[in-house]
Amino acid sequence: MKIAAQVILWILIMFFSFKIYDSINGPINFNKTKNERYAKVINRLKDIRKAQIAHKDVKGVFANNFDSLIKFVDNGIFTLIEKRDSSYLEYDRTYRIDMLREVVVIDTLGTVPVKDSLFGTSNSYKKMAYVPIQGVEDSTFQIQSAIIDKNGYKVPVFEVKINKSVVLYDQDKELLKQENETVSVDGVNGPAIILGSLSDVSTNGNWPTIFDAVKQ
């Protein structure tokens, strides 16, 4: 009986030691995994942002699906222009004198493919729709675009997002629940990682600047 009690005691000691260890290291490992995966996702969102801004510059609106956006990067062309100030004399019938008129002259210098300008020789943009996390490589970002009214002006906007539950699909559910409820100046707030907005004029993401410091 004494030996059996000692065995049970040692089992309980090992069990509670493991639980204490897990309670300390669980959040540490979760945060390490979270930050690594967020960095990969955010880097891809930055590529999407580059492509969307170029799409708007050329076409006047943002793309509302990835097929159109990728096709644009493949085939789009930037027109290179140069703006310079100039002036000339023009006869004014009211004052009956020559008056100086100032104008901006726009010269077309040539064209350059969007792909070469944004991504060089890389074809990484062809996978921009997909979440770059092992285990959920077939999951895609949600993308939308719209035209909204801002102070009487029609303004194009877009939004791209992915739920944290997809990015952290294999992590502790309780820690994921806490992460979804994050409200912090140095965290990714809310249950999703989001680029842009459908209600405001923005091409920013909801992540802190620490993720802009290093590109993996």
Each residue's pLDDT tens digit in the chain (216 positions)? Answer: 667 666 666 666 665 555 555 555 789 999 999 999 999 999 999 999 999 999 999 999 999 999 999 999 999 998 765 777 877 778 788 877 878 888 877 776 778 899 999 999 999 999 999 999 999 999 999 999 999 999 899 999 999 999 999 999 999 999 999 999 988 888 899 999 999 999 999 999 999 988 876 554
Lookup result for tokens 């004052």: 95
Beta bridge partners of 110: 80
Identify the pLDDT of residue 2.
64
Q: Which two tokens stand for residue 45?
A: 């969102």
Q: From the centroid of its chain, how far is CA 121?
A: 21
Domain borders along the chain are 38-76+116-213, 78-111
Measured distance CA(75)–CA(44) in Å, rounded: 20
> Please, are residues 188 and 168 in contact by the beta-carbon 8 Å criterion?
no
Identify the pLDDT of residue 6.
61
